[in-house]
Amino acid sequence: MQKLKRKDLYSLEEYVEMRDDYRKKIMEHKKDRRLELGENVLLMFEDRLIMQYQVQEMLKAEKIFDAAGIEEELSAYNPLIPDGTNWKATMLIQYTDVEERQQKLTQLIGIENQIWLQVEGYGKIYAIADEDLERDTEEKTSAVHFMRYELDDDMIAAVKSGAAISAGVDHENYQAAVSPIAANIRDSLAGDLA
């Protein structure tokens, strides 16, 4: 997928006028990019459309309209756009109760390295996690991690030909699996591959 450039963005005025309809479009699109792994782990697969929305929202919220500010936002969000050989996701650890979440985050250190995807007929692919910065400490993990899943040419061809995709978590304190993932998510992910 192509990275975003300034020319791909709407001006603040244009965006404000179209925002409600654009937001509905994005929320509908995200339904095909959301994968729950058990009750408390969510993978949100990122793509160019979602990142454009994120950038537009940041520009609006921060009232950024100068070239340098826009380029800064693009630099922050472009790395989350898949490159044609990978899937990129934001992983969220979700517990509604604050105390329970704090306790679980101490028990789930390293979980970002135990979340896998698997193309039918191939081995599990584990994420390359948090390339931007370290999100774990010795005491706890973060509730948000950024993941990249690299596929080889054979896996890409298989997905493009309709192979099923499974996903799961193999952490000692949290296990979950979805096999196969829903067709709408599988088809959306196939579109990320060159």
Question: What is the tens place of the pLDDT at every residue in 82-122?
Answer: 999 999 999 999 999 999 999 999 999 999 999 999 999 99
Cβ 143 vs Cβ 150: under 8 Å = no
Tell me the per-residue pLDDT of 109-118, one tens digit each, with 9 for 90 and over. Answer: 999 999 999 9
Tell me if 1 is assigned to some domain. no
Tell me if 80 is assigned to some domain. yes
Tell me if 10 is assigned to some domain. yes
What's CA 18's distance to the chain center, in Å? 25
Tell me if 121 is assigned to some domain. yes
* Number of domains observed in the structure of the chain: 1
Q: Structural domain of residue 131, as residue ranges? A: 6-190
pTM: 0.92
Cβ 42 vs Cβ 94: under 8 Å = yes
Tell me if 72 is assigned to some domain. yes
